[in-house]
Amino acid sequence: MTSTSSKQPNALIRPDKDTFLSEENPFEAMMSRFDYAARCLNLDPGLYKILRNPEKQIIVSVPVPRDNGEIEVYTGYRVLYNTSRGPAKGGIRFDLNVSLDEVKALAAWMTWKCAVVNIPFGGAKGGVICDPGAMSPGEIERLTRRYTSAIIETLGPDSDVPAPDVNTNERVMAWIMDTYSMHKRHTVTAVVTGKPVEMGGSLGRREATGRGCMIVTREALRKLGMPIQGARVVVQGFGNVGSIAALLLQEQGARIVAVSDKSGALHNPAGLDVPDLLKWVREKKLLAGYPKAEAITNDQLFGLPCDVLLPAALENVITSKNAKDIQAKIICEGANGPTTANADKILEEKGVFVIPDILANAGGVTVSYFEWVQDRGGYFWEEDVVNQRLERIMVRSFEEVATMSAKHSVSMRVASYMLSIDRVAAVHRLRGLYA
C-alpha cells in the first residue's frame, strides 16, 4: 500500500467537536467519517476535493402503466461515485425512503467498501422512490425495465454493474439483464450480479454477505481473546443478511439470544433455534407469534447483555439516543450505515469494538466480483471454491484494517476509511488528472 502520511499519533485521534453533527443527512454523516480519515492521512487538498464529490448523479422520471390502466411516474436515481479503480458497482433499491442524499452516501460507501477488500471496482448506487409492497409483480417488472432503459447509457460490464439491494432480488436482476441484453442485441450476463444461477449467477452469492459477517465476527472474537463457543449474539434484522449470519454463527458454536424484524423482536437467553426460526419465517413471513421465545420491542433488543450485536437492517438504527444502552462488546455492522457518527463517539468511549460496515458486509460485493469474473470468463466455480476465496479475502482485509488501526491508534472504522481512501487516492495519483 502506498502510504500518504508517516504520521503516527501517540493517542487515539478524536474528531473536532463539530465534526459529527448530522444524524439526519446520510451523505454528510458518512462524509464526516471520510473527512476525519482524510485528515489522519494528511490527504492532498486536490485529491480531497476529487474524492469528496461523486463523478455522476443521474435523476430520471420513470413512467409506469399500473394494472388499473392509470399511469404513475416514479423518480429514480443512479449515482456513480468513483470509478478510478474499475467499473462502478452497487445495488438498486426500491423504497419510499429513497433520496438522492441516501443514494450518494451508499455510492460512496460502495467505493470505500470495494477498496477496503481490494477488489477492482468503484462505487455506485441506485434507487427508485416507490412502495413495492403496494405493486403487483407485473408493475414491478415494468418499473424495473423502464428504469433500466432510462439509465442504460451508464450500464455495462466495463462501466456500471448493479446488484440487488432493499426490496430488489435476483428476479429484478434478471429483468435488468434481459432489458440491457435486448438493447445490445446479444446476451450480456456480466451487466448485473446477484442473478439466478441459471442465468450466470454465482453459487454462494445469496449467503455471501451473511458469511462475511460471520467471518469477521469470528476474527474479532479471536482478536479480543473471546471464544466463539457460547458467545451471545443479538441480530437486529432477520432478512437475508441477518438470518444467514445468525445461522452460520450458530454453526460455529455461538448462541443466538435475540433476533428481530419489522414485526418485533424475540429473546431467549438460553439460545434460539435458528433453523426452526427460518422455517417459521418461511411459513409465516414474519417473526411475530413465534412461540419459543419472549416477545420484546426493538428498542429493548439494543440494550440486551450480549457479546456481539449484529445490526443487519437499515441505516441509522444505533444513534446517540440508544448507544449508551448497548452492552455488546463487539458490533458487527451487517447493514450499511447502521451507526450514526454521533453514536460512534459514545461507543468508542465505552470501549465497544466496532467492525465497520464497509468491512463487515463486504462479503456480498466480494462474491459479486467473483460472479462478474465468472461471467466474463464463461467458467463457473464450485461453491466451496467461492467460499474459500471469500474467506481468504475477508480474513486478509480484517487483518489489514486491524494493522492500520494499531499503527495509527485509531478505531477500526477510521482505519477502514484510511485504508480504502489511501488505495483510491494512490490510483488517482498514478492515473493523473485528465484536463
pLDDT score for 14: 38
Beta-strand runs (E) in 140-196 = 160-164
Tell me the mean pLDDT in the region 310-331: 93
408 has a pLDDT exceeding 90: yes
19 has a pLDDT exceeding 90: no
pLDDT score for 336: 86
Q: pLDDT averaged over the chain?
A: 93
pLDDT score for 247: 98
- Domains of the chain, residue spans: 54-192, 206-360
Q: Assess whether 125 carries a catalytic annotation.
A: yes
Apex CA 69: angle with CA 63 and CA 74, to 5°? 20
Tell me the mean pLDDT in the region 239-266: 96
Could you report the per-residue pLDDT of 120-159, keeping only the tens digit for each?
A: 999 999 999 999 999 999 999 999 999 999 999 999 999 9
Q: By the 8 A CB rule, do 171 and 192 touch? A: no
pLDDT score for 24: 60
**Hey, which CATH number is domain 206-360, 3.40.50.720, 1.10.10.10, 3.40.190.100, 2.40.50.180?**
3.40.50.720
Burial 292-310 (b: 16+ CB within 10 A, else e): ebeebebebbbbbebbbbb
Catalytic residue (one of 89, 104, 113, 125): 125
Tell me the pTM. Answer: 0.91
Could you report the per-residue pLDDT of 352-362, keeping only the tens digit for each?
A: 999 999 999 99
User: Comparing 54-192 with 206-360, is the CATH topology the same?
Assistant: yes
Tell the CATH topology of 54-192.
Rossmann fold (3.40.50)
Tell me the mean pLDDT in the region 34-49: 95
17 has a pLDDT exceeding 90: no
Beta-strand runs (E) in 111-254 = 122-129, 160-164, 232-236
Q: By the 8 A CB rule, do 296 and 323 touch? A: no
